[in-house]
Chain A
Amino acid sequence: IVLTQSPGTLSLSPGERATLSCRASQSVPKNYLAWFQQKPGQTPRLLIHGASHRAPGIPDRFSGSGSGTDFTLTISRLEPEDFAVFYCQQYAASPITFGGGTKVEI
């Protein structure tokens, strides 16, 4: 399953809303779609699993939606610490695949 993320780069300011898209080449079974955040020099952090379920400790400004082939990660109000690269990932079928990433920059 090929995952295509858009846009490649999102230039926004703190307090703004970010909307990131992830499109799958075929339906993701059971909506096993996750979102990760990765900052330079850090390990990826799981934000969302099952398309819409926040991982423990993730602020509620992060939300995931979608099903089938179209998924969205929304950050309602960007905080300075949110600027990073975001990846979607499907974990339903082998090979597990990641999207190419969306960089959210100031």
Chain B
Amino acid sequence: EEELVESGGGLVQPGGSLRLSCVGSGISFTNYWVNWVRLAPGRGLEWVANIKDDGSETYYVDSLRGRFTISRDNAKKSASLQMNSLRDEDTAIYYCATGAGWLINQWGQGTQVTVSS
């Protein structure tokens, strides 16, 4: 079964850091761009970042560049999102997602990140 599984979410204080992970199984993970997309309470979907299949290119939404870093380890069929200097407004469900090129057609179940004191 094709599956993406996220982990690493949780409760963190403002200014803190979290590292999210995404592991792919049953899919040709190494052939796909990996995206992180978030859904904040009362807001819509927001694309966060993506990374090319070989890790040679990364892109970010402008508002998060510098605080968030995406990476991948194809040997482990995994990708990560390092999130620093977290703010209340970063509270969201974070989804790992892949697909053909930049088209997203497969999503993980998401991991909840809550930033609160």
Contacts and interface: CB of A to CB of B under 8 A. Distances in A.
A82 B47 CA distance: 24
Contact of B104 (A34, A38, A92): A34
B104 A101 contact: no
B35 A43 contact: no
A85 B44 CA distance: 9
Contacts of A44: 37, 45, 95, 104, 107
A46 B46 CA distance: 15
A31 to B, nearest CB: 12
Interface in B21-59: 35, 37, 39, 44-47, 50, 59
SS of A interface (majority): loop
Interface of B: 35, 37, 39, 44-47, 50, 59-62, 95, 99, 101-105, 107-110
Given A44-B107, A100-B44, 16 more contacts: A32-B102, A34-B104, A43-B95, A43-B109, A44-B45, A44-B104, A46-B99, A46-B103, A49-B105, A87-B45, A91-B104, A94-B59, A96-B59, A98-B44, A98-B45, A101-B45
Contacts of B108: 43
Interface residues of A, number: 22
A97 interface: yes
A106 interface: no
A96 B45 contact: no
Nearest to B39: A38
A64 interface: no
